[in-house]
Amino acid sequence: MGNNIIEIKNLQVQYETSKGVLGGRQVVKAVNGISLDIKRGEILAIAGESGCGKSTLAKAIIKLEEPIQGEILFKEKDMLKMSSTELKEFRKHVQMIFQNPYSSLDPKMKIYDTLKEPLKINTTLSNSEIDKIIEETISKVGLDKDCLSLYPHEFSGGQRQRIAIARALVLSPEFILADEPVSALDVSIQAQIINLLKELRDNFNLTFMLITHDMGVIKYLADRVAIMYLGEIIEIGNVEEIFNNPKHPYTKALLSSVPDLNNKTEKIILKGDLPSPTELPKGCKFHTRCSHCMSKCSETNPNETIFNDNHSVKCFLYED
Ligand code: SF4
Where do the structural domains in the chain lie, given as residue ranges?
4-318
> Nearest C-alpha to atom 3 of ligand 1 is from which residue?
315
φ, ψ dihedrals at 130, nearest 5°: -65, -45
Q: Which atom of ligand 1 is nearest to the CA of 316?
A: 5
pLDDT tier for residue 186 given thresholds of 50, 70 and 90: confident
Distance between CA 75 and CA 308 in Å, rounded? 25
CA proximity to 189, closest of 221, 228, 162, 207: 162
What is the separation of C-alpha 49 from the centre of its chain, rounded to a whole number of angstroms?
13
Please check whether residue 130 is in contact with residue 119, taking contact to mean a CB–CB distance below 8 angstroms. yes
Please work out whether the CB of residue 249 comes within 6 Å of at least one atom of ligand 1: yes
Distance between CA 209 and CA 204 in Å, rounded? 15
> What is the Å distance from ligand 1's center to 292 Cα?
6
* Residue 296 three-state SS: helix
> What is the Å distance from ligand 1's center to 305 Cα?
13
User: Is the dihedral angle over the CA atoms 233, 235, 241, 244 positive or is it negative?
Assistant: negative
Confidence at residue 21, expressed as pLDDT on a 0 to 100 scale: 60
**What's the whole-number mean pLDDT along residues 262-266?**
66
> What is the Å distance from ligand 1's center to 229 Cα?
12
* pTM score, whole prediction: 0.92
The class of domain 4-318 in CATH terms is: alpha beta
Residues 11-38: tens digit of each pLDDT: 999 998 876 666 678 899 999 999 999 9
> What is the Å distance from ligand 1's center to 318 Cα?
10
Please work out whether the CB of residue 34 comes within 6 Å of at least one atom of ligand 1: no
**What's the whole-number mean pLDDT along residues 257-274?**
74
Residues 81-130: tens digit of each pLDDT: 899 888 888 888 999 998 887 788 999 999 999 999 999 999 999 999 99
